[in-house]
């Protein structure tokens, strides 16, 4: 795992450590990633928003939120899983990223 401006970047073969009781799977679908939220029954997954993605990528790249490219590039197939199919990232890998400030997991080519 690497860090870029406080955002964790996982290699395709790395698995993040999740809070106890939280599964790495979810029935939710999201275009902008997933966040861990704490409910009355402990941690659970929530759908992230475009603003969450802009905040996380803006932090990682140290750019203004309006400059963040929100287009995909690679698919997130679960809260902590990114697609590794060829052709999505054109010479790079689809990697899982995590912003600990907002508990946001998302996938980007890196």
Nearest to 108 by CA among 66, 62, 56: 56
* Inside any domain, residue 43: yes
Total number of domains constituting the chain: 1
Q: Which domain holds residue 87?
A: 2-18+31-109
26/89: higher pLDDT: 26
Q: What is the mean pLDDT of residues 46-69?
A: 96
Whole-angstrom CA distances from 5 to 53, 76, 83 are 15, 22, 24
In a domain, 25, yes or no: no
In a domain, 9, yes or no: yes
At 17-47, the pLDDT tens digits run 999 999 999 988 888 999 999 989 899 999 9
pLDDT band at 86 (very low <50, low <70, confident <90, very high): low
Higher pLDDT, 76 or 54: 54
Is 68 contained in some domain? yes
Name the DSSP letter for residue 25.
Answer: -
Question: Per the domain annotation, does 93 fall within a domain?
Answer: yes
| Total residue length of the chain | 110
Residue 61 lies in a domain: yes
């Amino acid at each position: 795992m690497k860090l870029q401006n406080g955002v964790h970047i996982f290699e395709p073969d790395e698995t993040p450590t999740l809070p106890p009781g939280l599964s790495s799977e979810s029935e939710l679908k999201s275009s902008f990633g997933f966040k861990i939220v704490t409910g009355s029954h402990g941690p659970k997954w929530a759908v992230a928003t475009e603003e969450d993605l802009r905040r996380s990528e803006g932090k990682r790249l140290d750019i203004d939120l309006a400059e963040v490219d929100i287009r995909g590039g690679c698919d997130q197939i679960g809260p902590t899983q990114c697609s590794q199919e060829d052709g999505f990232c054109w010479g790079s890998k689809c990697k899982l990223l995590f912003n600990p400030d907002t508990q946001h997991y998302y996938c980007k080519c890196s």
